[in-house]
């Protein structure tokens, strides 16, 4: 059986008729930028998260960098980031002129290790960006406690955690602000690039709305040197449709993840990541750890199973950053970059497809062991 990494039509497009109707409604409304559909989505998404404000922007990278800019973080400042994440987390810090300072991740979750943060704080540290990687939340109480002791801001990178719960609270409400990406394959995905920020801080929200729109609140009057990064109404209309089905889709993801857990139980060569007991995971990705990861991936693809890698090069090892290859602070992040394998996964994946994936994984791993 051939199994794609993600079924684009089922997972990304979803209810095509409802989506086309939403797009038509947006077009008939006569406003494509900063219109009624965006206002409605911002209100609905904020309420769904449990936040006071939502500000739609062009993508998840801008969502993080705009918050940093609004806080006045820039050259000479430092921002703590995890050693393993998608590079956008680090790029947002670089884009405002600040310096990303890496703190290693936990080996069994690949989440920022809160116990290591304090040692990385210097007089130049201004903020911490915990990343809710793969769909579960960081130990936010510990992160926020460290931040408060040192007078630091905290922004959740919630790009992979739409709907994840931490001690009963949704991602997006666990810090001073949160950044979301609505890239098409996210749990809540648009049909192109899109992003948003949630916060309870009305002053911050007002600054963000100004930054995203050329630094303007009144047309042709620009109070700051802003940017053009607005979540357009067509994408907002699509996201409104998908938001209504998101809780059900996340429940389907959890059920599919539980099936993988059962199928892989006892197969020692494949290590699963731990789900934190205080977190309701939304499984943006289902990730396992294997030796000879690249070889296993190629052997799985040869059997028609399209697994993937997130992310093969840790940010600190990218040419953009070029940190010392021998650094010890990123030992677990670099190990995850070398061993993490994402199995095919989407809400509608069938048990039959998952059996084919696990069979291919077992064969691929055993061949590596026999080599």
Rounded to 5 degrees, φ, ψ at 236 are -60, -40
pLDDT for position 12 = 85
3-state class (DSSP) for residue 62: helix
pLDDT for position 156 = 99
pLDDT for position 259 = 98
4, with CB counted inside 10 A (0-12, 13-18, 19+), is: middle
Radius of gyration of the chain (CA): 21
pLDDT for position 190 = 97
What is the pLDDT averaged over residues 160-165?
A: 98
Nearest to 203 by CA among 45, 72, 36, 96: 72
Q: Mean of the per-residue pLDDT values for the chain?
A: 96
Q: What tokens were used for 51? A: 């936040």
pLDDT for position 31 = 83
Gap between the Cα atoms of 144 and 235, Å rounded: 33
Gap between the Cα atoms of 194 and 183, Å rounded: 6
At residue 184 the predicted structure's pLDDT band, cuts being 50, 70 and 90, is very high
pLDDT for position 371 = 58
The continuous run of DSSP H or E covering 209 comes out as helix 202-212
DSSP E strand boundaries for the chain = 53-57, 78-82, 99-103, 125-128, 153-157, 165-166, 169-170, 177-181, 195-199, 216-218, 221-222, 271-272, 279-280, 286-289, 340-343
pLDDT for position 187 = 98
Q: What tokens were used for 269? A: 């060569």
The verdict on pTM exceeding 0.85 is yes
Per-residue buried b or exposed e for 305-327, using 16+ beta carbons within 10 Å of the residue's own CB: bbbbbbbeebbbbeeeeebeeee
What is the pLDDT averaged over residues 223-230?
A: 97
Res 325 pLDDT > 60: no
Calculate the CA 347 to chain-centre distance. Answer: 17
Give the model confidence (pLDDT) of 251-272 as tens digits: 999 999 999 999 999 999 999 9
**Which bin fits 336, alpha (ψ -120 to 50), beta or left (φ > 0)?**
alpha
């Amino acid at each position: 059986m051939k199994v794609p990494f993600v079924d684009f039509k089922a997972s990304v497009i979803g209810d095509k008729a409802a989506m086309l109707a939403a797009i038509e409604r947006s077009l008939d409304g006569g406003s494509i930028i900063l219109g009624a559909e965006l206002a409605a989505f911002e209100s609905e998404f904020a309420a769904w998260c449990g936040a006071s404000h939502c500000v739609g922007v062009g993508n998840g990278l801008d969502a993080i960098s705009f918050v940093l800019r609004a806080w006045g973080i820039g050259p000479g400042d430092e921002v703590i980031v995890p050693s393993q994440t998608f590079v956008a987390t680090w790029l947002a810090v670089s884009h405002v002129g600040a310096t990303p300072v890496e703190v290693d991740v936990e080996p069994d979750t690949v989440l920022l290790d809160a116990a290591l943060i304090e040692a990385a704080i210097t007089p130049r540290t201004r903020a911490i960006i915990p990343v809710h990687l793969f769909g579960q939340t960081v130990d936010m109480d510990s992160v926020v406690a460290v931040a408060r002791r040192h007078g630091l801001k905290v922004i959740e990178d919630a790009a992979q955690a739409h709907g994840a719960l931490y001690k009963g609270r949704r991602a997006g409400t666990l810090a001073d602000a949160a950044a979301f990406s609505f890239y098409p394959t996210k749990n809540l995905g648009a049909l192109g690039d899109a992003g948003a920020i949630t916060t309870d801080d009305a002053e911050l929200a007002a600054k963000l709305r100004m930054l995203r729109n050329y630094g303007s609140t009144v047309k042709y009057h620009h109070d700051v040197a802003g940017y053009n990064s607005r979540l357009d109404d067509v994408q907002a209309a699509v996201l409104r449709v998908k938001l209504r089905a998101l809780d059900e889709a996340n429940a389907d993801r959890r059920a599919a993840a539980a099936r993988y857990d059962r199928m892989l139980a006892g197969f020692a060569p494949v290590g699963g990541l731990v789900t934190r007991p205080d977190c309701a995971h939304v499984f943006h990705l289902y990730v396992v750890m294997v030796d000879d990861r690249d070889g296993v991936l190629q052997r799985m693809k040869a059997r028609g199973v399209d697994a993937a890698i997130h992310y093969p090069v840790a940010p600190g090892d990218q040419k953009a950053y070029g940190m010392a290859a021998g650094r010890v602070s990123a030992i677990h992040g670099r190990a995850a970059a070398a061993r993490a394998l994402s199995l095919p996964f989407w809400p509608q994946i069938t048990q039959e497809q998952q059996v084919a994936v696990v069979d291919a994984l077992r064969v691929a791993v055993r061949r590596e062991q026999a080599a």
